[in-house]
Structure 1
Amino acid sequence: MTEPDVSDIREQLVDAFDGADYPVTTPMDLLPALPNGPATTFESGEFSMSMMQIHSTADVDPKERFPYESPEALADDIIDGLQDAGELPE
């Protein structure tokens, strides 16, 4: 079993969301930036999740978190949510 590299997942998220028009105010604002829409998959080691799975697992509540001013801030919240859910190591 290969443990996922959290910094690699974060970099993939930043790269995927870099093309969005910031600030983004809803998850729907992010879809055009994703190369395969909600089916865009992020992988490292044993970790593999589509954006749709990440959205339902990471519990990034749009009312509490949006708007986002940068892809880095968004990626950090997603990583925190996946770590809180036990999907990524701390």
Structure 2
Amino acid sequence: MKESLTDVIIGEVKYTKSETTFSRGLRELLEYLYFAREADQYLFNNVTQECRISGLLCTDGVATATQSSQSVTHLTTEDLSQLF
């Protein structure tokens, strides 16, 4: 039986508390997600393969009103340290 990839998480890490740098990191992450989802064979040889692609933005403490959206999650270094 051949296994297939079902989930991909693309991450962007910004070691900062700056909202400007956070915004730039989020914009970059959204670009990566676009290319992974839309560009022909950027991520997969078989473009018909079903795979959920989501993004993870890590910062060093930028406060956000929402931690997660449909396809992007924001975690701080404190959040990460609590996971492990």
Give the alignment's TM-score, normalised by structure 2: 0.31
Q: Which structure is higher in strand share?
A: 2
Max radius of gyration: which structure?
2
Q: Which structure is higher in helix share?
A: 1
